[in-house]
Amino acid sequence: MRGRTVWAAASAAAALVLTMATGAHAEGRGDVRVVKTVVNGGGSVIVGTAKTIRYPVDITVKDNSGVKGLTHVSTFNKTSAYTFATWNDDSRCTKKSATTSVCRATLTIDPTWIADSDDIDSNKVAGVWQVNATVKANDGDYWISDHIAEYKVKRAAQLTTVIAPEKVAKNAKVTVTGKLARANWEDRKYHGYPGQQVKLQFRKKGAAHYSTVRTVTTGNLGQLTIKVTVASAGIWRWYFPGTTTTSLKTSAGDTLNLR
């Protein structure tokens, strides 16, 4: 079981602290340094209720003797220090020059054990996470790097669109409904997401792009409903831009035809 206690102890172990140019705090010996870190290709990590998620952390390391590799990688919520991601102590380094290598670690999140990873509502662990790592050089230099990157771990969203009726005369009114839901990591189900602004979008038949027609706020069960007057055939959909804790989601489109 991994939780706040584990990472609080790890942070307390860093007795010697140095402020680096990147804003990270670290301790170690010699001139080996982390110069860049990219998590999941720069994108958020989206976690649902069933699928195991594996994502890369690419750490660029530099030392005048060359880079030996990574000896530790950890990640956790920036504010609470809780985590449910694990590193399997495996990594590979790609040499870019005599002094610089990019080392890739792979982190794993399995939704089936998120709820058992802490003693709080696991959904509160969504949000901004940070990465720590220990790197080692060929000459024995090492550096324990704290807070070398930030990224977001988000709850997966679901979004639907239904038009009724699907075939009407020009300038008739139709009702567009839908539902926005997001993953609950405690019971591993999707629940309606209330109070969120979702954009209703339309793409005219033959057009290349969607345009936003209206913005609607979800109801207490995540439901969406609106009446619109239609002037042409095309495809309607809902678009949710996401939040710090919940993923962006675009529904599948529903086609409207004119009589």
Phi-psi region of 242 (alpha: psi -120 to 50; beta: other; left: phi over 0): left
> Which domains occur in the chain, in start order?
4-155 (2.70.50), 157-258 (2.60.40.730)
> Does pTM top 0.75 for this prediction?
yes
CA 108 – CA 142 distance, rounded (Å): 25
The residues near 59 (Cβ < 8 Å, ≥ 6 apart) are 34, 36, 37, 70, 73, 102, 103, 104, 105, 133, 135, 148
pLDDT at position 16 is 24
Which residue ranges of the chain lie beneath pLDDT 70? 1-26
pLDDT at position 24 is 54
Tokens encoding 230: 């239609």
CA 15 – CA 188 distance, rounded (Å): 39
Neighbour tally for 20: CB within 10 Å? 16
Answer for the pair 90, 17: CB distance below 8 angstroms, yes or no: no
Whole-Å CA distances, 173 to 6, 8, 148, 169, 239: 58, 58, 54, 9, 21
pLDDT at position 25 is 60
187-190's contacts with Cβ under 8 Å and 24+ in sequence apart are 187/115, 188/49, 188/50, 188/111, 188/112, 188/115, 189/49, 190/49, 190/158
Q: 14-59, pLDDT tens digit by residue?
A: 222 222 333 456 689 999 999 999 999 999 999 999 999 999 999 9
Whole-Å CA distances, 22 to 25, 69, 125, 131: 9, 20, 25, 13
Q: Is the peptide bond before 165 cis (omega within 30 degrees of 0)?
A: yes
